[in-house]
């Protein structure tokens, strides 16, 4: 019944003396309803920003730990967290990706710092899922979402991927079993879950050469109407990856009945979690103290069983379990104004 995300980047922090346990930082999103409009303000949520617990569990499944980054964290706090974690995840959600939106502004800072770190020879990976996947391409092209994205009919859509010529040899899938890659492309199995209203068409990689210069298209996919869009990308130089689909959902989300829960669907997500966390283990970032490490972990927040305790609609397809931040009593006017402005621009775009 809610769902628009604040920036939630997943970071991996290396505990003192233990370089094998990275932490991932998640950027939280603003809470909105997942009801009739899917974009109205949520009056049921205990906080104005959130992160779905499935991302936290996905990171943990490969040996990492999650650290939340909130939309209105100061630049100083963003930099402190960035210097303490080992990777970032831009998760899915419904935030509109305008270049002047607070979410995009914060994400760009983190993205640019990651570029600087990798240029210094310090591995620092970034992962973008769904909205985060679109965000990586928008940052690369330096355009607003309405310039780069097209509408797609792929909400709650179990589907397949179509690998490009080099897709099977990519860093993301090059170590996967060939039999699993075959199943990913098998339309009789549909082990991939898509859940998005927009996507980037492959031809836009020709229209915006800077996209092609930075990112390799690993796979494409098709919505219910046969519209093709870019479904998986990886950066040509940096350890930056994006999936329009959701590798974290099959093991951990059950409210959306379209999500596949087969052994192979879960294997795909686990493989990619392992790829990402293994890169995060190479990051030299670490908290300054054990106290700082413990204080920044997401375990300081209590998850909410949203599928049971908040949502009253049988058609709900949001997260089963959710972490909320920024209580309604704190900063409601500021977040509300941003949400209204973003929604107004979105409606103007859809009417055009």
Q: Position of tokens 């800072």?
A: 109
Q: What is the CATH number of domain 23-351?
A: 3.40.50.880
Share of the chain above pLDDT 90, in %: 69
Burial class (CB in 10 A: 0-12, 13-18, 19+), 21: middle
The token pair that represents 4 in the structure block = 């628009």
Residues 6+ apart with CB under 8 A from 295: none
Taking residues 18-22, report their average pLDDT. 57
DSSP secondary structure string for all residues of 160-187: --EE-TTGGGSTTTTTS-HHHHHHHT-T
| pLDDT 10s digits, 199-240 | 999 999 999 999 999 999 999 999 999 999 999 999 999 999
Taking residues 33-53, report their average pLDDT. 58
Q: Determine how β-strand 23-27 pairs with β-strand 88-90.
A: parallel
Range in 44-58, 195-209, 311-325 the model is least confident about = 311-325
305/134: higher pLDDT: 134
Distance CA 336, CA 173 (A): 41
Distance CA 279, CA 261 (A): 26
> What is the structure's pLDDT at 89?
97
How many residues would you count in the chain?
352
344 band by pLDDT with thresholds 50, 70 and 90? very low
Domain residue limits, the chain: 23-351
| pLDDT 10s digits, 234-289 | 999 999 999 999 999 999 999 899 999 999 999 999 999 999 999 999 999 999 99
pTM: 0.87
Share of the chain above pLDDT 70, in %: 78
Question: Which residues does the annotation mark as catalytic?
Answer: 130, 246
> What is the structure's pLDDT at 16?
42
| Closest by CA position to 19, among listed 351, 284, 324 | 284
pLDDT at 78 over 70: yes
Q: Average model confidence (pLDDT) for the chain?
A: 85
Distance CA 219, CA 330 (A): 42
pLDDT at 135 over 70: yes
| pLDDT 10s digits, 326-337 | 765 544 444 444
DSSP secondary structure string for all residues of 38-76: S-SBPSS-SEEEEEEHHHHHHHHHTT-EEEEE-TT--HH
Longest Cα–Cα distance in the chain: 56
Distance CA 123, CA 59 (A): 18
């Amino acid at each position: 019944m809610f769902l628009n995300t604040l920036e939630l980047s997943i970071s991996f922090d290396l505990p003192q003396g233990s370089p094998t346990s990275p932490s991932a930082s998640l950027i939280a999103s603003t809470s909105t309803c997942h009801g009739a409009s899917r974009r109205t303000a949520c009056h049921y949520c205990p906080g104005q920003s959130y992160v779905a617990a499935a991302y936290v569990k996905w990171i943990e499944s490969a040996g990492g730990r999650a650290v939340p980054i909130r939309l209105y964290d100061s630049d100083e706090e963003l930099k402190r967290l960035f210097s303490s974690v080992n990777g970032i995840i831009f998760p899915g959600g419904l935030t509109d990706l305008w270049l002047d939106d607070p979410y995009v502004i914060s994400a760009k800072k983190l993205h640019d710092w990651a570029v600087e770190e990798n240029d210094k020879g310090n591995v620092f990976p970034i992962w973008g899922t769904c909205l985060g996947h679109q965000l990586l391409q928008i940052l690369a092209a330096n355009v607003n979402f309405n310039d780069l994205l097209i509408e797609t009919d792929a909400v709650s859509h179990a589907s397949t991927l179509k690998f490009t010529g080099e897709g099977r040899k990519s860093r993301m899938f090059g170590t996967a079993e060939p039999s699993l890659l075959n199943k990913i492309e098998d339309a009789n199995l549909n082990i991939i879950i898509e859940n998005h209203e927009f996507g980037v068409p492959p031809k836009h990689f020709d229209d915006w050469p800077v996209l092609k210069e930075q990112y390799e298209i690993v796979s494409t996919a098709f919505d219910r109407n046969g519209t093709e869009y870019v479904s998986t990308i990886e950066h040509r130089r940096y350890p930056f990856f994006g999936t329009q689909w959701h590798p974290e959902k099959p093991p951990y989300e059950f409210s959306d009945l379209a999500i596949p829960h087969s052994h192979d669907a879960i294997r795909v997500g686990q493989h990619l979690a392992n790829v990402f966390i293994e890169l995060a283990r190479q990051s030299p970032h670490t908290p300054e103290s054990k106290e700082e490490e413990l204080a920044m972990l997401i375990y300081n927040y209590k998850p909410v069983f949203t599928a049971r305790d908040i949502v009253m609609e049988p058609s709900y397809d949001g997260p089963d379990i959710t972490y909320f931040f920024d209580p309604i009593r704190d900063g409601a006017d500021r977040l509300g104004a941003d949400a209204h402005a973003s929604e107004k621009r979105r409606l103007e775009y859809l009417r055009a």
